[in-house]
């Protein structure tokens, strides 16, 4: 299994108008893409779309904003965990003020985290909008897996907590463009930073960001880090290799390239 040349750690491939084109482009450009899904009932379809791929991996997920309508699919999720190493989109979203819904979200998220912990090596891509503190607390310290906070929008203090707990961050075009995003990125440990498009939700100028727009995220990161595009690309790849390769000791992940378990 090849890691490729670029990393898109969070992309909704199945929600593009032409997923086949997005997938073909990712393959041609050797763009390692985690194809997240929002409900368990679409996982098999996405897995089939990418079954021939060297670089695109399907993830099984249950988006927190969909638990009110699709929460009953939670039982469908557990057996599907056997079919992929990747899990997402999962997490918490407190844009709803409804305490009952927030409770259901926490319940579902905790159950998924518990199931994934048994595998010890799952790569999880986590949503945490307005719920960063609870998301970090639910994952806890030294979680037996590889949690990635996607599109982190919390405070610097929360960021430091997440980093000290061993979490990774995947950053997108919206983040490298905004003042707040830039400030947060500058506080992230460089060895924990990955890139994502979150397409088609994040827009790149007028069109939905595709995995091939990852170049623009790398350009933004290169500016913030004051290094070249090529060095930035290599750093992100090395970070991704560490994330995938270290099974037992995540604290030393930045020093240990380990073996690749993809």
- Closest to 73 in 3D by CA, of 43, 34, 51: 43
Span interacting with Zn ion, options 16-24, 133-141, 190-198, 251-259, rule CB under 5 A: 190-198
In angstroms, give the least distance from the CB of 141 to Zn ion: 25
Helix or strand run (H / E) with residue 244:
helix 229-245
Tell me, residue by residue from 194 to 223, as one string, x for binding to Zn ion by CB under 5 A and - for no binding: ----x-------------------------
Q: How far is the CB of 145 from Zn ion (least distance, A)?
A: 19
Nearer to Zn ion, 175 or 222 (CB): 175
Query: Distance (Å, rounded) from C-alpha 231 to C-alpha 26?
Result: 21
Which CB, 8 or 198, lies closer to Zn ion? 198
In sequence order, which residues have a C-beta less than 8 Å from that of residue 259 and are 6 or more positions away? 245
- Name the residue nearer to Zn ion (CB basis): 54 or 203: 203
* Nearest of 57, 73, 159 to residue 111 by alpha carbon: 73
Identify whether the C-beta of residue 202 lies closer than 8 Å to the C-beta of residue 174. yes
CB of 198 to Zn ion, least distance (A): 5
| Cβ density class 212-226: b for 16+ within 10 Å, e for less | bbbbbbbebbbebee
3-class secondary structure, 226: coil
- The window from 13-21, 81-89, 106-114, 152-160 that contacts Zn ion (CB under 5 A) reads 81-89
Binding mask 48-67 for Zn ion (x = CB under 5 A): --------------------
DSSP calls for 133-176: HHHHHHH-TT-SSEEEEES--S-HHHHHHHHHTT-EEEE-HHHH
Question: CB of residue 123 vs Zn ion: minimum separation in angstroms?
Answer: 15
Q: Which is nearer to Zn ion, 40 or 245 (CB)?
A: 40
Q: How far is the CB of 199 from Zn ion (least distance, A)?
A: 9
Contact mark string toward Zn ion, 83..122, x via CB under 5 A: ------x---------------------------------
* Radius of gyration of the CA atoms of the chain, in A: 17
The residues binding Zn ion (CB under 5 A) are 89, 198
């Amino acid at each position: 299994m090849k890691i490729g040349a670029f990393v898109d750690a969070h992309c909704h491939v199945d929600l593009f108008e032409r997923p086949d084109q997005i997938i073909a482009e990712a393959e041609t450009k050797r763009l390692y893409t985690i194809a997240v899904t929002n409900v368990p009932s679409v996982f098999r379809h996405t897995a089939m779309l990418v079954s021939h791929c060297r670089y695109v991996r399907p993830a099984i997920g249950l988006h927190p904003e969909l638990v009110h309508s699709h929460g009953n699919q939670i039982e469908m999720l557990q057996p599907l965990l056997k079919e992929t190493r990747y899990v997402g989109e999962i997490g918490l979203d407190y844009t709803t003020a409804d305490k009952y819904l927030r409770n259901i979200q926490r319940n579902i998220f905790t159950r998924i985290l518990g199931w994934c912990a048994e595998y010890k090596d799952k790569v999880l891509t986590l949503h945490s909008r307005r719920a960063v503190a609870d998301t970090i607390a639910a994952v806890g310290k030294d979680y037996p897996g590889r949690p990635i906070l996607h599109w982190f929008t919390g405070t610097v203090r929360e960021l430091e907590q997440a980093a000290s707990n061993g979490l990774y961050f995947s950053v997108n075009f919206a983040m490298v463009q905004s003042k707040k995003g830039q400030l947060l990125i500058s506080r992230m440990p460089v060895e924990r930073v990955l890139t994502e498009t979150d397409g088609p939700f994040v827009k790149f100028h007028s069109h939905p960001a595709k995995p091939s727009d990852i170049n623009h995220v790398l350009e933004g990161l290169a500016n913030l880090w004051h290094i070249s595009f090529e060095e930035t690309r290599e750093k992100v790849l090395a970070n991704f290799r560490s994330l995938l390769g270290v099974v037992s000791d995540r604290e030393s992940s930045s020093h240990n390239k380990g073996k690749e378990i993809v």
